Structure 1
Amino acid sequence: MQTIDPMAPIQYRQHQLAGILGKLPQISGLLVVSPPTHMTGLTRDNSATIAFVEACYFSNGIDTAELNEWAEHIMISHPTYPDYVVDLREFNAPRFHFYRIVGFTPDRELSQAESKAISGIAYLRGREVIDGPSEQDAFTALIGNSHILDEFTSTFPFLQLPRQG
């Protein structure tokens, strides 16, 4: 029988916080900390961010483990977030259950080229794209919609993209 240390989650959080704080600037020995910004785009009324996450998830630009990591990132870096973010941190069901967890269908008007660009990120990451554009069409769309790549890197700052030659 395995014994679980009840302090382990707290120690883990302290370790994560120490890593984050170590990256912040210090002025005259004082740590300068800006309060976290309020996360937008995660509600039914403004779902742009969660819709982007959804599009990346269903195009295979991110996998379930990375969806979990995104939720963890939101919980650590933002003081407030919708309750479903906690559930997405532990999500491990078929992808179509995403909507059941979120509680609504995120709404964002992505152009066809932007949707192809998201598939381009999946291809760039070496992922299989099912029912999507060809790799060439996706890369062409990604080149023409570089703001999608910028949004991907800001939404998922913990993910590394392959360097392009």
Structure 2
Amino acid sequence: MREEVDHRKQAMTDQLERIGASLEEYLSAEEKTEEQIDAELTEAATEGVKIQLLLDTLADAEDVQVSDDEFGHEIMHRAQRAGVQPQQYYDQLVRSGTAGAIFGDVRRGKALALVMERIKITDSAGNELNMDDLRGGSADEHDHDHDH
């Protein structure tokens, strides 16, 4: 858990640095102490782990499988976001031993999609909404180009 909290804190610090701010400036602006931020990050990490365990249990119960294509698709997206070639990104995952974590993320995503397909969501007037309604457009608008 401590590792997850440290990871979240580093990610927050990295994001702040990208916009030219320091953790100290953020704490001052938010009128929070580092201990309060640590407590919030611990709570978020705990909730994240609970959700992961729930989705892992569901994926096991539903025998959710991840195809090579689905795994490759996720690697391509993450490599694109990181600005590196997919093979280079994958090689880094293998070297660091974190490829399994990405696989788990894909599997949990599929388990979540199963849940979302089965639940009924309505607006305040009782009209049933689908995922495209919630996203604010059609599925075609959210397609992405894998050629980059």
TM-score, normalised by the number of residues in structure 1: 0.27
- Between structures 1 and 2, the one with greater helix share: 2
Which protein shows a greater Rg? 2
TM-score, normalised by the number of residues in structure 2: 0.29
